[in-house]
Structure 1
């Protein structure tokens, strides 16, 4: 029995050793486990429907230009529609609505879509004074943010934050580049929101249309977008005198507006003046008239990589109006005097509300240009 057991063990040992030799002779690459980058934080599968709708509204508006362009190109692929599309293109070139107050649709501004859009961040309006609708107004909006000004859109181009209820009788018009009104279908969307061209003629036409007419100018423009980093409030304002001259020429009260959180909804690459990135961005701006901030936000299915803005609170504070006397040709001394008062009110807004709405700031309000 012992001999048989020893023979059996020897046979099993031989079999195992030969099997190991055969396996070792095979060039088998072991399977590596699939790993997910530890820095990517994915959204949970179960999220309330309301939050899904908010995200979809922001995502849809973020790609609105692309969506409307694709739709136009798809329609161009249908030969039977060419006569209508040709007439539409002619209409785009001859339509003067962007220069004459737009085609505001109260129904469109009050769509539930915009409420979802504003609630995503959430964006809200804080009114400091009453604004009597017996005069025109020029709202100066700060800061620009890394991309399009989301707080200004929610506040002045929709009723999502309750602008008309807060300031009855005031008819707001958010202003943007004239080139946006050359984009098929997209132009009709923003015209329905009351958005108009930022040209001097457009400003003049709106302010002359009667008491309660108002324009909103994002003063810092593309240059300020390069300074839009979370926790900062670096404004391009010192040399921006055009909107003050327009206000004086039309006897329109100037209203400083500061949007807390506008700079926080995107993370931007370090691009301090003097760096290669900053130099290239400024060169691009000088050639094309706009710039390209290098930024990122979150995605549809994750919280930290993508082009959607972060869910960070935006509070648009409307300050006290600065009364100006109408003068067709204001001198530089008067313009600088009004600018000094404007900056003082803007600084007052910051100092009054920074501890409430800018708790994560890394430095104080600064006017860099």
Structure 2
């Protein structure tokens, strides 16, 4: 009996002690999840100009173009009466049509539609011309940096939204991309109409042999450079890229360096310095598939700081002075290295001339890291 009383007394004491301690605690009111999210996400105002909405729509559609084309093709495949037509289309696209490696089938009308104006005005994207380019020879434009996707390259060389043909009459530009993009139904036809072609060696040669005024644009840094696309930086993968130099010499195509200020600023990328696990995984992915997947983010359709759309940040592609190239069928290593030295010097001149105008928020200077 005494033990039971002692136990009850202990319980009462413990309960009173607990109440006393709890009463001394200062509690903070719970914040609803929706309220917390709203505090961290900068939402788009309900009323924004119609023009800005159209600009955002154009960029959004281009950003998911591959997905839209794939979904559309799969939906059509779900309708059996269309199978014969879709089958013939695939046979033609994959085994018969050689346009991606023979200069494409550029549509001046398609390159000039209003859609691309909205696309370019979103950032806005533009270019600065430093010198005239006589249309009596072929040209090879080297575009730097790659960025995450290369939106500035698309706006400048694959559309007429920035006025390329008016600024360089007689020059027929072809932006080059991976051959795998031409295996995607419907999407391939869109980029072919934009003048985009395969970046294969055969494709480059075929275009440059097309006569005076033929031009190709190669995003030289490729997938490796996209891993270093951090805002405020200009880390280029260029030193070991000699293939495009050899190509220009063999075809007598003048080299034109292009530096795109702002290309690295339109997306934020997860830190992935050399040696980190993220960097190693991205390198392995690139080794297997030929391209890489930077872990990046931008803005969304309804907010300014969370999503996969690029930020509205100015892109200015400075098209530098042409470097004259003397045609040589089998250039020596010394000649290739000499031309590369001239090319890098011109690229660095562009950076030093315009960095205080278009790269005021840079965190470090241009660097050739590989």
Same fold (TM over 0.5): yes
What is aligned with 2:58?
57
What is aligned with 2:69?
68
Query: What are the residue-to-residue correspondences of 1:155-194 with 2, within 5 Å?
Result: 155-194=156-195
**Secondary structure of the structure 2 residue equivalent to 1:130:** coil
**Is 1:36 aligned to residue 40 of structure 2?**
no
Query: What are the residue-to-residue correspondences of 1:357-368 with 2, within 5 Å?
Result: 357-368=358-369
32 and 348 in structure 1: CA distance in 2 versus 1, 3 angstrom threshold: closer
Query: What are the residue-to-residue correspondences of 1:16-31 with 2, within 5 Å?
Result: none
**Cα distance in 2, alignment partners of residues 157 and 292 from structure 1:** 23
Post-superposition offset of 1:39: 2.3
What is aligned with 1:136?
138
**Cα distance in 1, alignment partners of residues 169 and 158 from structure 2:** 15
What is aligned with 1:92?
93
**Secondary structure of the structure 2 residue equivalent to 1:254:** strand
What is the alpha-carbon root mean square deviation over aligned residues?
1.0
**Cα distance in 2, alignment partners of residues 141 and 280 from structure 1:** 26
What is aligned with 1:247?
248
Please list the CA deviations of residues 283-337 of structure 1 after superposition, one character each: whole Å capped at 9, or x if unmatched: 1111111111000000000000000000000001000000010000001000000
**Secondary structure of the structure 2 residue equivalent to 1:259:** strand
**Is 1:204 aligned to residue 176 of structure 2?**
no
**Cα distance in 2, alignment partners of residues 210 and 290 from structure 1:** 32
**Cα distance in 2, alignment partners of residues 262 and 224 from structure 1:** 12
**Secondary structure of the structure 2 residue equivalent to 1:66:** helix
82 and 128 in structure 1: CA distance in 2 versus 1, 3 angstrom threshold: same
**Secondary structure of the structure 2 residue equivalent to 1:129:** coil
Moved over 3 A (4+): 30-34
- Normalised to the residue count of structure 2, the TM-score between the two structures is 0.90
**Cα distance in 1, alignment partners of residues 42 and 146 from structure 2:** 28
**Cα distance in 1, alignment partners of residues 188 and 280 from structure 2:** 32
How many residue pairs get matched?
A: 339
**Is 1:114 aligned to residue 116 of structure 2?**
yes
**Cα distance in 2, alignment partners of residues 135 and 69 from structure 1:** 39
- Normalised to the residue count of structure 1, the TM-score between the two structures is 0.91
Post-superposition offset of 1:36: 3.2
Post-superposition offset of 1:348: 0.3
Structure 2 residues without counterparts, runs of 5 or longer: 1-28
**Cα distance in 2, alignment partners of residues 287 and 52 from structure 1:** 39
Query: What are the residue-to-residue correspondences of 1:285-364 with 2, within 5 Å?
Result: 285-364=286-365
**Is 1:265 aligned to residue 266 of structure 2?**
yes
**Cα distance in 2, alignment partners of residues 278 and 86 from structure 1:** 40
**Secondary structure of the structure 2 residue equivalent to 1:35:** helix
**Cα distance in 2, alignment partners of residues 77 and 35 from structure 1:** 42
Post-superposition offset of 1:35: 1.2
Post-superposition offset of 1:77: 1.0
Q: Which structure would you say has the larger Rg?
A: 1
**Is 1:104 aligned to residue 106 of structure 2?**
yes
**Cα distance in 1, alignment partners of residues 284 and 75 from structure 2:** 35
**Secondary structure of the structure 2 residue equivalent to 1:284:** helix
**Secondary structure of the structure 2 residue equivalent to 1:317:** strand
Structure 1 residues without counterparts, runs of 5 or longer: 1-29
Post-superposition offset of 1:159: 0.1
What is aligned with 2:227?
226
What is aligned with 1:16?
none
**Secondary structure of the structure 1 residue equivalent to 2:218:** strand
